[in-house]
Structure 1
Amino acid sequence: MISRTPLARCLTGAALARTGDEMSGPALLLAGFAATGSTGGSAALLAALTAASALGGPLLGIRLDRSPRPGRLLARSLGLYAAGLLAVLAVLGRIPLPAVLPLAAAVGLLGPALSAGWTSQLPRVATLLPRATALDAMTYDAAALAGPALAGATATALGEDAAVLIAAALIAAALPAARALPARDGTSRAGRDDRRPNRGARAGRTGTEPHPHPHPHPHDDRPRLCPTTGPEHAAPDREAVSLRAELASGLRVLTSRPALARATVVSVSASVGQGMLAACLPLLGERALGGASRGPLLLACTAVAALFANAVLARRPHLLAPDAAVRFGALLQAAALALAATGGPLVLVVAAVLAGLGEGPQLTGLFAVRHREAPARLRSQIFATGASLKITAFALGAALAGPLATRSVPATLALAAALTAATALYRPSRRGNAPTARRGGGSGR
């Protein structure tokens, strides 16, 4: 037992898992460089680990939404991720790098479990959701501050392999908190029934209504999708159709609800800008701070500022409306990118702090919008898909900025600022099933 209250256990587990996640990236990057002697090889290893989350996030979200005990599924995902990191470390340098990359990609499929897997469960453990959302966002900020620092310090003192081992240990330490997450409402006694293949969710219905017949006629189990096949093929076919239907339902919710669509587009665009800034940090450090290794230290300033901003929101959760926080945070980050383009040591520090003051409230506002707008039956999928999109956008931003920054760092940062600011003004069309009628009693406000 990590902490006494359900919310404290959840936040402690999230902090441990996310710190391990933030540590694993730099640690694996350093281990890859030590094993291959190539920055290209180590970057490819990290890219394989992160890019796969675009596929893994929606699938993991659906499984969490379906599971009667999502905490146990989350614990298994965390355990597999930690074991996967150890497996990558075990073969790194012993087999050719191209053979290691598929293993890293397979591990990366579970990456969203370390982020969205926790946040989507907050309504089950929190009584004051706005405050819990701000505290949850603070665990991201704390992890972003502690993870890279732990990776660098451990790699310097004990070696690169030790840094990966400690990252895996931190993720594994979150398993008890994940397993302690409460079961889905009404499944404590009916958990076995929820796993029957001919339930409503497995039969392709996307609503939350119960099966019209609690005890359906035995003939209802007849295969209807592939009548020429035997009964043993019916369940996998129904499962595949149901999976596609749930993926489609999640995408419809993301795109048809204006507030959720706007928050998703704005946050993904901001992640592209953050990736572009990350790619520029070594050059910024080399040209303005006296060494390439000092550039990433600006991220510490950003994390501290974000942590401070979210601490204020945790004490006063109604200080800034969620939708406004998403847009305002993006505009602050755009201003920070434009300021960083002007160079100068002091200006860079100020820009890093300004970026943090935007990132922190934006993340808190994004979580609040998702909690408010996402249907309960699709909440995990919405969170995991959103996390996947942001991780992938960050990687794309870094890849885009790489060749551009070698030609002009100011132009690269100016492009990132323009992209981030432009999408902050994005207004989706008001069509579809917007849940404005729920806002008066929604738990996300």
Structure 2
Amino acid sequence: MRKRYALGRYTAGATAARTGDEMAGPALLLAGLAVTGSAASASALLAGATIAAAVGGPLLGVLLDRSARPGRLLAAALAGYALALLATVLTLGRTPLGWTVLIAVCAGLLGPALAGGWTAQLPRVVAPAGLPRANAVDAMTFNAAGLAGPALAGVAAELAGAGAGVVIAAVLICLALPAALGLPMATAVPGPPRTPPPAARPASATTASGTSATSATVLGGPALERPGGVTDPEPARGSGLPGAPAGDMGAAFAPEPPAAPVGNPGSAPGREASQAPEPAPVPEPPAAPVRDPGSAPEAAAPVTPSTVRDDLLTGFRAIARIRPLARATAVTTISCAGEGMLVACVPLLGERTLGGTGQGAALLSAIAVTALAANALLARRPRLLRPETVLAVSPVLLAAALALAALGGPLPLAAAVVLAGIGEGPQLTAVFAIRHRESPAPLRGQIFTTGASLKLTGFAVGAGVAGLLLDWSLPGALLAAAGVQLLAALVCVAWPRRPDAPRHTPRHAP
């Protein structure tokens, strides 16, 4: 399947969809400003399309994980997103603004499909050995989209009117539909089933890796496959672990009755043997019933399928309790709030330093070029840096870039652009690597889309806070954004780390 679906096809589809997504935001902003003449109305459109991702991302991820054909569901989400964008621009100025904002919110619900929903399918496209390089290539599609999308929105608005940019964005998203439809099928039945009753559990059998088959069953169900061939047992009933439904573990862990004493300790062996009671006769096991060969096979133990609500809770617990996932999610969400503050400051920064508000878009493009170059280096040498190292260092680089931008002047600003790109690009590659490595396979889609949703929400909150600070001072807003990035670095360093443990269960002694 991986040979038939090449990484190039995945990359082409992801680049087209993400370029359309990056183009849609500025195009909606320009269209809203041109039609309504109000910056507040234009910002309401963009905010509605951005904040709604916090709600749509987790649910979309669960549905992708439960689907046997995630590519079809992803294609449906892309088509719905494109149609909602077109409906937004067609109703703008023709209906009350509230209805148009509501349509933009509906579009935002499907937005995470272009980010986390697509990236979650990457392990089905490439072999595990090629995943580090594929992560870097995937992150480059975001950088390329961030470079081309806003520029295309501006050119389309100049040549064909403000609404043309939204239409072109929808067309680019639709160009990715063939690549989404061709994504490989899921390799297993989606959605881990709930545990059968203890009486129906099979007898213990030791696998080739040394783990007990009963241990996986007692722990709550089938093993969850993780990237790299490692398996995690599904959490136990009532154990409080991720995905554990409430239940009584007494039957599962009932202690065995103690063995009968053989003799009195300290007595002579001969006397002990002579006084030992006669062993009770062992009853013969009942004969297995003879089944008619023509009869129907016996029904298997009933297994209750998990619900969408259960899977949602399981995914949130996994993000919260798997420490590398929790740390990466917290750090990137805070860091994205700082990036949102930077984007809000860019127009004034361009006006005061480069002579025009339009030069702010050039600053964002320069940052995207630097980030693209940094990720291109990581694609050639994917094991150059550990993801945890990048995650800790990137917010520090972004904080330094924001502090330099607050100084003013062309030279500090040029240095700030370079540092921001070096910090922003590899951070995305690092978080992809951590999520692919740590996410249980049945929850990968939800973990990626939830992470993307939280980052978008952090970005929107940061942009809103910066808008309030800009009325006070541009350098003050930039220094506040630098403080947010330092907070992200502090969270990364202070987050408790899990104790080192072997990746595979040791083989039991015979």
Which TM class, normalised by the smaller chain length?
0.7 to 0.9
| Match among 123, 143, 146 for residue 144 of structure 1 | 146
Which letter maps to 1:295? G
Contact 1:257 1:435 in 2 (8 A): no
Which residue is equivalent to 2:268?
none
1:155 aligns with 157
Residue of structure 2 in register with 1:176 after alignment: 178
Q: What residue identity is the alignment partner of 1:154?
A: A
Please show how residues 12-411 of structure 1 align to structure 2 within 5 Å. 12-127=12-127, 128-186=130-188, 200=193, 208=222, 215-216=299-300, 242-411=307-476
Kindly provide the amino acid, as one letter, of the partner of residue 449 in structure 2: A
- Per-residue CA deviation, residues 303-340 of structure 1 (Å, 9 max, x unaligned), is 00000000000000000111111111111111111111
Task: List per-residue Cα deviations over 1:373-414 (Å, max 9, x = no partner).
Answer: 111111111100000000000000000010111211111111
8 Å CA contact retained: 1:373, 1:435: no
Q: Kindly state the Cα deviation for residue 349 of structure 1 after the two structures are TM-superposed.
A: 2.2
Q: Is this contact kept in 1: 2:144–2:368, CA < 8 A?
A: yes
CA distance in 2, matches of 1:28, 1:202: 48
Alpha carbons 1:339, 1:348 under 8 Å: kept: yes
Question: In structure 1, what is the Cα distance between the partners aligned to 2:25 and 2:371?
Answer: 20
Unaligned runs of 5+ in 1: 188-193, 222-237, 441-445
Runs (4+) of structure 1 exceeding 6 A deviation are none
Equivalent AA in structure 2 for residue 24 of structure 1: A
Q: Does 1:428 align with 2:428?
A: no
Deviation at residue 439 of structure 1 after TM alignment: 8.7
Which residue identity is paired with 1:175?
L
Post-superposition Cα deviations, 1:133-175, rounded to whole Å, max 9, x if no partner, equal: 0000000000000000011011101112211111000000000
Change over 3 Å in CA distance of 1:313–1:430 after alignment to 2: closer
Q: Which amino acid aligns with 1:156?
A: E
CA–CA distance in 2 between the matches of 1:340 and 1:367?
A: 28
How far apart are the structure 2 equivalents of 1:350 and 1:254?
A: 36
Q: Which amino acid aligns with 1:393?
A: G
TM-score (norm 1): 0.86
Letter of the structure 1 residue corresponding to residue 25 of structure 2:
G
**Could you tell me how far apart the structure 2 residues matched to 1:56 and 1:215 are?**
39
How far residue 345 of structure 1 moved from its aligned partner, in angstroms, is 2.1
* Alpha-carbon separation, structure 2, partners of 1:375 and 1:425: 27
Structure with the larger helix share: 1
Query: What is the SS of the residue equivalent to 1:109?
Result: helix
What does residue 232 of structure 1 align with?
none
The answer to whether the 8 A contact 2:150-2:361 is kept is: no
* More off after superposition, 308-317 vs 155-164: 155-164
- Which amino acid is 1:277 matched to? L
CA distance in structure 2 between the aligned counterparts of 1:202 and 1:8, rounded to whole angstroms:
40
Native 8 Å contact 1:15 1:140 kept in 2: yes
- Secondary structure in structure 2 of the residue aligned to 1:295: helix
| Alpha-carbon distance in 2 for matches of 1:295, 1:214 | 71
Closer, same or farther: CA 23–4 of 1 in aligned 2, 3 Å: farther
5+ residue gaps, structure 2, are: 197-218, 225-233, 235-296, 506-510
Identity of aligned residues (%): 54
C-alpha distance in structure 1 between counterparts of 2:139 and 2:504, whole Å: 22
Alpha-carbon distance in structure 2 between the residues aligned to 1:72 and 1:289: 47
Q: Report which stretch shifted further, 9-18 or 343-352.
A: 343-352
Please state how far the C-alpha of 1:296 moved relative to its aligned partner. Answer: 2.3
Q: Secondary structure at the match of 1:358?
A: helix
- Greater Rg by CA: 2
Distance 1:362 1:214 in 2: 54
2:195/2:221 contact within 8 Å kept: no
Task: Report the Cα distance in structure 2 between the residues aligned to 1:438 and 1:140, rounded to whole angstroms.
Answer: 32
Amino acid across the alignment from 1:375:
P
Equivalent-residue separation in structure 1 for 2:223 and 2:4 (angstroms): 35
Q: Match of 1:407, SS?
A: coil
Alignment CA distance shift 1:435-1:29 (3 Å): farther
Matched to 1:36, the amino acid is T
Change (3 A) 1:436 1:394: farther
Give the aligned residue type for 1:125.
V
- Is residue 5–residue 184 contact of structure 2 (8 Å, CA) maintained in 1? no
Q: Deviations over 1:24-75 (max 9, x none)?
A: 1111111111111111101100100111000000000000111011111000
Q: Kindly state the Cα deviation for residue 263 of structure 1 after the two structures are TM-superposed.
A: 1.3
Conserved 8 A contact 2:406-2:479: yes
How far residue 435 of structure 1 moved from its aligned partner, in angstroms, is: 8.9
- Alpha-carbon deviation of 1:6? 2.4
Local SS of the residue matching 2:431? helix
Contact 1:274 1:397 in 2 (8 A): yes
Q: Which amino acid in 1 is paired with 2:310?
A: A
Report the Cα offset of residue 244 of structure 1.
2.5
Tell me: CA distance 1:7–1:409, structure 2 relative to 1, closer, same or farther (3 Å): same
2:486 counterpart letter in structure 1: A
In the superposition, the TM-score normalised over structure 2's length comes to: 0.75
In the alignment, is the contact (CA less than 8 A) between 2:5 and 2:183 conserved in 1? no
CA distance in 2, matches of 1:388, 1:439: 32
* Mapped contact 1:281–1:296 kept (Cα < 8 A): yes
| Residue identity in the other structure for 2:193 | G
Structure 2 Cα separation of the partners of residues 436 and 172 of structure 1: 45
Distance in 1, matches of 2:470 and 2:385, equals 35
